[in-house]
Amino acid sequence: MRRLTTAATVFVLAAIGLTGTAGVADAAPVSAGAECPTGWGSTDKSSEGHEYRALKNIRTGSHACYDRIVFDLGSAAPGLGYRVGYVDEFHQDGSGDLIPVKGGAILQVFINAPSYDPNTGQRTYPGRGRQPLPGVDLTGYRTFQDTKFGASFEGQTQVAVGVRARLPFRAEQVGDKLVVDVAHSW
């Protein structure tokens, strides 16, 4: 008898959830536009800062409205310089070599953060030219499809992010990080 009561309870709860007649289930769905602002645009974003800090890490995250890439410097750089924008092809800084990047569009990031300590020359980030970013797994991401390390040349690091399409994005410095978000849709 207890199994029958439990089964009946599960059935009733499932029916309530499916018909939307109780509790949270009756909340009207919110449109993607209301939850996910896309007024960022797809034009270049930059900061003319002249601070340089060694790059410590690059990581990514997938959120409800956007995919994110974070460049971690490990210490504040109030005048951090960067340039982020779409390019037709990704060419390695310094050599000019073409680096293939998967996706419908390529977002290129230049940041005034070499992958080595400028004072000692010791490597601070293990990125290698033409290779995917170390430790970055894009499985399950809606927008990001590929990453490539371009170069760390003359105090700047260059990275490409292959995205599904040319979508709106924003770039901003947050403390000791450069954060770049690419929207899932317009």
pLDDT of residue 4: 39
| 143 and 84 within one domain | yes
Asked whether residue 34 is domain-assigned, the answer is: no
Nearest-angstrom CA–CA distance, 150 and 181 = 20
How large is the greatest C-alpha to C-alpha distance in the chain, in angstroms?
Answer: 76
Asked whether residue 107 is domain-assigned, the answer is: yes
| 111 and 60 within one domain | yes
pLDDT of residue 23: 28
Q: Does 73 or 11 have the greater pLDDT score? A: 73
CA angle centred on 49, ends 128 and 144, rounded to 5°: 45
**Nearest to residue 40, comparing CAs of 184, 143, 142?**
184
| 80 and 20 within one domain | no
What is the domain count for the chain? Answer: 2
| 74 and 162 within one domain | yes
| 155 and 68 within one domain | yes
| 136 and 59 within one domain | yes
Range of the domain at 63: 42-183
| 46 and 23 within one domain | no
CATH number at residue 103: 2.60.40.3500
Residue-wise pLDDT for 71-110, tens only, equals 999 887 788 999 999 999 999 999 999 999 999 999 999 9
Asked whether residue 144 is domain-assigned, the answer is: yes
The pLDDT of residue 113 is above 50 = yes
Residues composing the chain: 186
Task: Determine phi and psi for 144, rounding to 5 degrees.
Answer: -70, 135
- Model confidence at 172, pLDDT cuts 50, 70, 90, reads very high
Mean pLDDT to the nearest integer, 151-173:
96
Q: What is the CA radius of gyration of the chain?
A: 22
| 10 and 70 within one domain | no
| 81 and 13 within one domain | no
Mean pLDDT to the nearest integer, 37-60:
92
Q: Does 30 or 103 have the greater pLDDT score? A: 103
* Cβ–Cβ under 8 Å, residues 33 and 42: no
Nearest-angstrom CA–CA distance, 115 and 79 = 18
Enter the pTM of the model.
0.80
Nearest-angstrom CA–CA distance, 84 and 89 = 14
| 140 and 94 within one domain | yes
Q: Which residues contact 110 (CB under 8 A, 6 or more apart)?
A: 82, 83, 84, 93, 156, 157, 158
Asked whether residue 81 is domain-assigned, the answer is: yes
Range in 9-13, 76-80, 111-115 the model is least confident about: 9-13
Asked whether residue 36 is domain-assigned, the answer is: no
pLDDT of residue 83: 98
| 77 and 20 within one domain | no
